[in-house]
C-alpha cells in the first residue's frame, strides 16, 4: 500500500504578499481604457509642449511670442525667421562646423570605447579591477575641473582656435558610460567564438573588427546616440576653443548671435533652436529600437 502525502496549503499570511504584488496590475486592468488613454495623452502633451512652443515661437513675431500666452497657433506664419537664422546669423556655417565636429568625435569615441570595453571585458590582466574603479571614479569629476589643463595642452600643441582642437578635447574625455556598456555586453559573449577564430589564425584586430564589433551593433547604436547628443549639444569646450574665432562656432555657441546688448531676437533664436534639434530628433527616431536593445543587452546578467 502506497502512502500519499498532501502538500500543505499556504496560510493567509503566506498568500497575502502575492495578492499585494498583483494589486497594482489588477487596478490598472480594472480602469476603463479611456481613462488610461487620457492620462497618457496628458503626459505626452505635457512632455512635448516646450518643443511645440519653440516651433510655434519660431514662426511668430517677437511681440507675439509673449503676447499670445500659451497659444501655439501663430497669427501669421513668418518663415523669414528661418531665413534670418540660417543666412543672416550664419547658422549654415555653424551647422557645418557642428556636423564635422560631431561625426569625427562620434567615430573616434565609439572605436576607442569599444576597444577599451572589449579589452576589459574579455581579458583577465593584472590590475583590471583597479582600472574599472578608476574609470567609475572619473564619472564624478565635472568637465569644468579639467578645462584648464586641456586648454594649456591644446595651446602648446597649437590646436587652440581650431576645429581639430575641439574634436580632440571632446574625444579625450573618459566616456566611461560607453566603456561600461561595451564591457557589460562583451563579457556575455561565449569565449568559444574567440577560441575558434584563434584556431583559424585570426589576430586581435581581426577578431575585434570582424567578429566582436558586428555582434555589438545594438551597443554601438546606443553609444553613437549618446555621444552624438553630448557632442551636438556641447557648449563649454567649443566656447573656449572658438572664443576668438566666431567662424568656427558650433550651433550651441552660435545661439549667442541672437543676443545683443539691448535686445534679444527671440523668434530668430527659436528658429535656430528648431533647426538645431531636428537632426537630434531624426537620429533618435532612427536608432530608438537599437538604443533600447543596447541598454538591455549591456545590463543583462
List the chain pLDDT tens, one digit each, 301 residues.
445 555 555 554 444 544 454 555 665 667 777 787 888 888 888 888 888 888 998 898 888 888 877 788 888 888 999 988 898 888 889 999 999 999 999 999 999 999 999 988 888 888 888 888 888 888 777 767 778 888 888 889 888 889 999 999 999 877 888 888 898 888 888 888 888 888 888 888 888 888 888 888 888 888 888 899 889 989 888 998 988 888 899 999 988 888 877 778 888 889 999 988 888 888 888 877 766 665 665 555 4
Q: Of 212, 182, 186, 175, nearest to 197 (Cα)? A: 212
| Stated pTM of the model | 0.78
Check residue 189 and give its pLDDT. Answer: 85
Q: Which fold has domain 89-299?
A: MetI-like fold (1.10.3720)
- 122, 187 in Cβ contact below 8 A? yes
pLDDT value of position 76: 84
Exposure class string for 54-75: b at 16+ Cβ within 10 A, else e: ebbbbbbbbebbeebeeeeebe
Q: Which three cell numbers stand for residue 118?
A: 572589449
- The boundaries of every CATH 1.10.3720.10 domain in the chain are 89-299
Distance between CA atoms of residues 251 and 224, nearest Å: 19
Partners of 259 in the beta sheet? 264
- SS3 call for 31: coil
CA dihedral 274, 275, 276, 282 (to 10 degrees): 90
Amino acid at each position: 500500500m502506497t502512502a500519499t502525502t498532501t502538500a500543505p496549503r499556504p496560510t493567509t499570511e503566506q498568500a497575502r504578499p502575492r495578492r499585494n504584488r498583483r494589486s497594482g496590475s489588477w487596478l490598472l486592468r480594472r480602469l476603463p481604457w479611456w481613462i488610461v488613454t487620457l492620462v497618457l495623452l496628458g503626459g505626452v502633451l505635457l512632455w512635448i509642449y516646450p518643443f511645440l512652443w519653440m516651433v510655434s515661437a519660431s514662426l511668430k513675431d517677437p511681440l507675439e511670442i509673449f503676447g499670445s500666452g500659451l497659444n501655439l497657433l501663430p497669427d501669421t506664419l513668418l518663415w523669414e525667421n528661418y531665413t534670418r537664422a540660417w543666412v543672416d546669423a550664419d547658422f549654415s556655417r555653424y551647422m557645418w562646423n557642428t556636423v564635422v565636429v560631431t561625426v569625427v568625435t562620434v567615430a573616434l569615441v565609439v572605436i576607442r570605447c569599444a576597444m577599451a570595453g572589449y579589452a576589459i571585458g574579455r581579458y583577465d590582466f593584472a590590475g583590471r579591477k583597479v582600472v574599472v574603479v578608476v574609470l567609475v571614479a572619473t564619472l564624478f569629476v565635472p568637465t569644468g575641473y579639467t578645462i584648464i589643463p586641456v586648454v594649456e595642452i591644446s595651446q602648446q600643441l597649437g590646436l587652440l582656435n581650431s576645429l581639430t582642437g575641439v574634436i580632440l578635447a571632446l574625444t579625450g574625455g573618459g566616456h566611461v558610460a560607453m566603456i561600461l556598456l561595451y564591457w557589460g555586453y562583451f563579457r556575455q559573449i561565449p569565449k568559444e567564438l574567440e577560441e575558434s577564430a584563434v584556431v583559424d589564425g585570426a589576430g586581435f584586430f581581426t577578431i575585434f573588427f570582424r567578429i566582436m564589433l558586428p555582434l555589438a551593433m545594438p551597443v554601438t547604436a546606443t553609444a553613437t546616440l549618446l555621444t552624438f547628443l553630448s557632442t551636438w549639444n556641447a557648449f563649454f569646450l567649443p566656447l573656449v576653443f572658438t572664443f576668438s574665432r566666431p567662424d568656427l562656432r558650433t550651433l550651441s555657441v552660435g545661439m549667442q548671435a541672437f543676443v545683443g546688448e539691448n535686445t534679444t531676437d527671440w523668434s530668430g533664436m527659436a528658429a535656430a533652436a528648431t533647426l538645431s534639434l531636428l537632426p537630434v530628433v531624426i537620429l533618435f527616431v532612427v536608432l530608438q529600437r537599437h538604443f533600447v536593445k543596447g541598454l538591455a543587452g549591456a545590463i543583462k546578467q
